[in-house]
Amino acid sequence: MSDLLARVRAGDRRALARLLTHVENRTPLGLAAEREFFRQTGRAHLVGITGPPGAGKSTLIAALAREARRLGLTIAVLAVDPTSPITGGAVMGDRIRMLDIASDDGVFVRSLTSRGRCGGLAPSLCAMAHLLDAFGFDLIVLETVGAGQDDVEIARLADTTVLVLVPGLGDHVQALKAGTLEIADIFVVNKADLPEAARVVGDLRSLQRLAGAASPHIPIHATVATTGDGVASLLQGILDHRTQLDATGQRLERLQRRLLSEVRFLALEALEERLDSALAALPENERAALVTRQVDPRTLAERLLKGLRLNLPLGSH
Amino acid sequence: MVEQAAVATGRRQRSRPLRVLIAKPGLDGHDRGAKVLARALRDAGMEVIYTGLFQTPERIARAAADEDVDVVGLSILSGAHNQLFPQIMQELRRAGLDDVLVVAGGIIPKEDIPHLQALGIAAVFGPGTPLHEIVAFIREHAPDRERGS
């Protein structure tokens, strides 16, 4: 099976696809690959794309991919779609591949499901992005589940976070103020051919003015993803942001923050799992004691925590 | 049911969900059947990638390869199956997807089925096939690759 790792190292795309499955599912081989390839990461630029459902994120990414290829950049996309909390199943629409870029070797698209994870992401997203980075893709786009105001995790995992907004969401811009608006490095107003688009751009501008000179200026791009209008300029904006991160030394700072977030997510996930099984194993008399008010939630929580041995091996259950 | 149990108990699965690509090859613009099936497979706990309409054999194979699916479901109503399916099977093989389960559905005359099965298409489901039959078939025949332990 380590044959698969060798094939990936040699640039075999099919092997990459198979290894991504192992990484996604945290098989022993996938975990070994994660460790092995991590040292070869750090070259790719990670772009997070987020925004409400129906904003045109997938179509925009397809258009971005086409522009990236025009500049000779290779691009991999990890597109996250929601998992049904009931059945665990998911339907992932494949709008990105519908273009002429479908058979281009410089474009790789992989759909994954959130598998119960909140925040618009998926549990193995970072690890899969690392593998694509090591494989040599220049740009790696992380598309989140169409999410709302609190979809901020993406910003901790990407070098550049793009927030896609559209006209017709009314005062969503206002509502978003304290959430995703704060984490964006670039704003996109997509569907800019719709009549209300100029107003959304204006709203964003006045929001920025309200925020004052102290807060960073965030570029606003108007795009029509379906025709490609404004997309070349958006890609340039993303590349400029990268240059700017390099020039100001923020790139390393962000990288460290990004990797620490990943450490945090992995540790937290293991903790939650342990906690969930401890909860599930709680004896009936302790549950009853809670209901009859003989023990309070805080005391029980403390007892649970005491019982957790925290030397948890990750991913090897 | 394995898929269901795995997801219900937490984020990390002991057995991963089956991944299925539902593809609409060629020029027919009717995808109600494909969507109904996609939904049914989803409800059965599978991860379904739907390609949308008008896919070429090359694109279907590329998507199946990159997405590393276990199953490819082809939906066709145009009558072009005898032309398109051999091309798709060839492209799938060229992409190294020998172990993928391929099933088909749509308007396909009975007399064409043996020929399609000889190509490597495991089953052809005509109109009116109960969805649970398709789900059961896929569960039973999807390749038993090494899954998450």
Domain boundaries, chain B: 17-128
Chain A CB contacts of B146 under 8 Å are: 1, 22, 27, 29
Q: What is the pLDDT of residue A306?
A: 87
Number of H helices, E strands in chain A: 13, 8
A236-257 pLDDT tens trace: 999 999 999 999 989 898 889 8
For residue A28, what are its two tokens? Answer: 């022993």
CA distances from A131 to A17, A34, A125, B36, B39 (A): 10, 7, 10, 34, 31
| Closest approach of B85 to chain A, Cα-based (Å) | 19
Put simply, whether B52 touches A (Cβ < 8 Å) is yes
Q: Which residue of A has its CA nearest to B91?
A: A103
A228 with A283, same domain? no
Do A98 and A109 lie in one domain? The reply is: yes
- Residue A69 near residue A101, CB atoms below 8 Å: yes
Q: Does A91 or A12 have the greater pLDDT score? A: A12
Taking the model in full, what pTM does it have?
Answer: 0.87
Beta bridge partners of A164: A188
* Residue-wise DSSP of chain B: -HHHHHHHT-SS-SSPPPEEEEE-BTT----HHHHHHHHHHHHTT-EEEE--SSB-HHHHHHHHHHTT-SEEEEEE-SS-HHHHHHHHHHHHHHTT-TT-EEEEEES--GGGHHHHHHHT--EEE-TT--HHHHHHHHHHHS-------
pLDDT at residue A159 greater than cutoff 70: yes
What burial letters (b/e) apply to B99-124, b meaning 16+ CB within 10 Å?
ebbbbbbbebeeeebeebeebbbbbb
B68 touching chain A per CB within 8 A: yes
Percent residues over pLDDT 70 in chain B: 87
pLDDT tens sequence across A75-99: 999 988 877 666 667 777 766 665 5
Residue A174 pLDDT:
56
For the segment A204-230, the average pLDDT, to the nearest whole number, is 84
Q: Which residue has the tokens 């694109």?
A: B59
Are residue A120 and residue A214 in the same domain, yes or no?
yes
Q: Are residues A154 and A100 in the same domain?
A: yes
pLDDT computed for residue B2 by the predictor: 39
pLDDT of residue A39: 94
Which chain A residues are within 8 Å of B52, Cβ to Cβ? Answer: 93-95, 98
Asked if pLDDT for residue A148 goes beyond 80, the answer is no
- The band of A121, judged by pLDDT with boundaries at 50, 70 and 90, is confident
Q: What is the mean pLDDT of residues B74-81?
A: 88
Q: Do A126 and A174 belong together in one domain?
A: yes
Same domain, A129 and A243: yes
Q: How many domains does chain A have?
A: 3
User: B33 touching A, CB under 8 A?
Assistant: no
Statement to judge: residues A152 and A287 lie in one domain: no
More confident residue, A134 or B145: A134
pLDDT band at A146 (very low <50, low <70, confident <90, very high): low
ipTM: 0.83
Enumerate the residues of chain B whose CB falls inside 8 A of the CB of residue A315: 12
Q: Residues for chain B: how many in total? A: 149
Sole residue written with tokens 């403390």: A302
Report the gap between the CA of B63 and the closest CA in chain A (Å).
8
Contact at CB, B96 and A25, closer than 8 angstroms: no
pLDDT at B88: 95
Domain annotation covers residue A255: no
Q: Which of B17, B51, B68 is closest, CB to CB, to A88?
A: B17
Nearest residue to A52 (alpha-carbon basis) of A130, A123, A141, A148: A148
pLDDT of residue B24: 87
Q: Is CATH 3.40.50.280 the classification given to domain B17-128? A: yes
- Nearest residue on chain A to B18, alpha-carbon basis: A89
- Which residue(s) pair with A46 in the sheet? A140
> Is position A314 within any domain?
no
Cβ of B11 under 8 Å from any chain A Cβ?
yes
Measured between alpha carbons, how far is A256 from A262 in angstroms, rounded to an integer?
10
Confirm if A48 and A155 have CB atoms less than 8 A apart: yes
Q: Above 80 in pLDDT, residue A154?
A: no
Task: List the single best residue of A31, A84, A92 to mutate versus B (max B Cβ within 10 A).
Answer: A92
Taking the CA of residue B27 and the nearest CA in chain A, the distance in Å comes to 14
The answer to whether the CB of B118 falls within 8 A of the CB of B111 is no
Higher pLDDT, A306 or B92: B92
Does pLDDT of B10 surpass 80? no
H-run or E-run covering A271: helix A250-280
DSSP letter, residue A82: P
- The tens digit of pLDDT for each residue in A276-317 reads 999 999 999 999 999 999 999 999 999 888 888 776 667 654
Residues of B in contact with A115 (CB under 8 A): 7, 11, 13
> Position of tokens 């401890």?
A278
Average pLDDT over residues B128-136: 93
pLDDT > 70? residue B146: no
C-beta neighbour count of A130 within 10 angstroms: 24
How many CB atoms neighbour CB A197 within 10 A? 20
User: If contacts are CB pairs under 8 Å, which of residues 115-144 in chain B contact chain A?
Assistant: none
Average pLDDT, integer, range B50-78: 90
| Tally of CA atoms within 13 A in the half-sphere of A157 that contains its CB | 30
pLDDT (tens digit, 9 = 90+) per residue, B108-118?
A: 899 999 999 99
User: Which of A45-49, A93-97, A112-116 has the highest average model confidence (pLDDT)?
Assistant: A45-49
3-state SS, residue A42 = coil
Helix (H) or strand (E) holding A31: helix A28-38
Task: Considering only CA atoms, give the Rg of chain A.
Answer: 22
Q: What is the pLDDT of residue B123?
A: 93
Average pLDDT value for residue range A121-140: 93
A7 touches chain B (CB under 8 A): no
Instruction: For residue A3, give its domain range.
Output: 1-39
Give the rounded percent of residues in chain A with a pLDDT score beyond 90. Answer: 50
Q: Is pLDDT above 80 for B131?
A: yes
* End-to-end CA gap in chain B: 17
Q: Is residue A317 part of a domain?
A: no
Residue of A78, A87, A105 to mutate, testing the B interface (most B Cβ within 10 Å of its Cβ):
A87
* Contacts with B62 from chain A: Cβ below 8 Å: 97, 102-103
Average confidence (pLDDT) over A248-268: 89
Are the beta carbons of A238 and A186 closer than 8 angstroms? yes
Phi (first) and psi of residue A143, to 5 degrees: -100, 120
The pLDDT value recorded for residue A317 is 45
The mean pLDDT of A113-137, rounded to a whole number, is 84
Domain at A141, CATH number: 3.40.50.300
Element holding A61 (H helix, E strand): helix A57-70
Does the pLDDT value for residue A34 go beyond 90? yes
Residue A312 lies in a domain: no
**Residue B3 contacts residue A89 (beta carbons within 8 Å):** yes
Taking the Cβ of residue B13 and every Cβ of chain A, the question of whether any pair is shorter than 8 Å is answered with yes
Instruction: Indicate if the pLDDT at residue A12 is higher than 70.
Output: yes
Residue A132: inside a domain? yes
Measured CA to CA, the distance from residue A149 to residue A172 in angstroms comes to 9
Q: Among B44, B58, B68, select the one facing A89 at the smallest CB separation.
A: B44
Which pLDDT value is given to residue A202? 87
Is A187 in the same domain as A271?
no
Q: CB–CB of A13 and B65 under 8 A?
A: yes
Whether A169 shows a pLDDT value over 80: the answer reads: no
Which candidate from B42, B59, B147 shows the least CB-CB separation from A102? B59
Which of A190-194, A212-216, B68-72 has the lowest average pLDDT? A212-216
Q: What is the pLDDT of residue A216?
A: 75
CA–CA distances in Å: residue A303 to residues A203, A276, A278, A299, A312: 50, 14, 10, 6, 18
CB of B92 within 8 Å of a chain A CB? The answer is no
pLDDT at A90: 73
pLDDT at position A173:
55
**Domain assignment present for A138:** yes
Same domain membership, residue A227 and residue A83: yes
